[in-house]
Amino acid sequence: MAPVSAEISKRGYKEYIIHTGQHFDDNMSKVFFDELNIPQPNLSLSLGTGSHGKMTALMLMELEIILQEKKPSGVIIYGDTNSTLAAALAAVKLHIPIAHVEAGPRIYDINTPEEINRIVADHAAKLRFCPDIVSVQNLAKENILNGVYFTGDVMFDSYLIFSKVAREKSTIINSLNLNTNEYALLTIHRPNNTDTEDALKRVIKVLENAKMKIVFPVHPRTEAAFKRHGLWESLKAINHAKVIPAVGYLDILELINNAKIVLTDSGGLQKEAFFAGKPVLVLFHTTPWPQIQSCGWQKCCWDNNGIDVNRVIELISSYMPTNRRPNLFGDGNAASKIVDLLENHGWFK
């Protein structure tokens, strides 16, 4: 949201930011507001933790009350989180127009929570801002034709703006004693890779057998999973793996920009690696960005039961795309185009 928020402010308009509390760890939340100069939330919900259903329901209840009180001219929602779903449901039932930023990506796996969230958000929205042409085509397949705009990707805006800031401010490369293009960056957080002992052992096996140094910033829920299954000490004992806490946005940009290759199950990180010109091994059975795979800049490493360890080990030191890296996600001015469209549709009164 950082580029959109900055553009709204630059034009003299007001926004009311609600932090749902879905991400409550400082390294997954507060640090982003601090580093990206996002205005502090006008309201932060304190909902604790719980199941997908419980958390979505609690957010829905609280958001409905706030929207009835504030009566906004519209609600902007981002991505595919449970917060996105709760805000979409709250707003659409109150007949408040919704603008969905990053509308249209699909992996066609209804068992993935993010897929449900994004489908509902896209169908509830009045305005749908697509990061790429494939997303526009996906919406057309669902007969969503009106209010659909290819704006480019706000994450690309952020990448271009904050990579420069990261080079100046981040010290993580030196603090971890890393050399450019001599390590792999690994992140995992999906339930498929963290909810069972077998899935976690596959991650450990990759780290133990990879012929390259691997930097592994550990998501809080991933760390909890390793500890729950008694594997945390085994993970930390791997000599050529640097297991570190989750890091802020500027640090992760520096880690991406200086890595040789990226291993991840994160859809967002897949894009950021592509922006940086880094090949990606996708630790999931599919990707929301098939066009990156089609142009040769990422490969899925998954067998019937989880991460395909042997394929990862084989590719981590040998995979180097030879195809040209096409421009898939716009020109870096998505936020300006989004706010133009919001103006044109009378959202700012």
Indicate if the alpha-carbon torsion angle 212, 218, 224, 225 is positive or negative. negative
Decide if 9 contacts 339 (C-beta within 8 A). Answer: no
SS3 264: strand
Which alpha helices (H) appear in the chain, and where do they start and end? 2-10, 30-35, 52-70, 82-93, 113-124, 133-141, 154-169, 172-175, 191-194, 197-209, 220-228, 232-236, 249-258, 267-275, 290-294, 309-316, 334-344
Indicate if the alpha-carbon torsion angle 330, 301, 118, 348 is positive or negative. negative
CA distance 144 to 140: 5
CA distance 227 to 193: 14
> One of 19, 100, 189, 285 is an active-site residue; which one?
189
Examine the residue annotation and report whether 100 is marked as an active-site residue of this protein. Answer: no
- Angle at which helices 334-344 and 154-169 cross, to 10°: 140
Active site members: 189
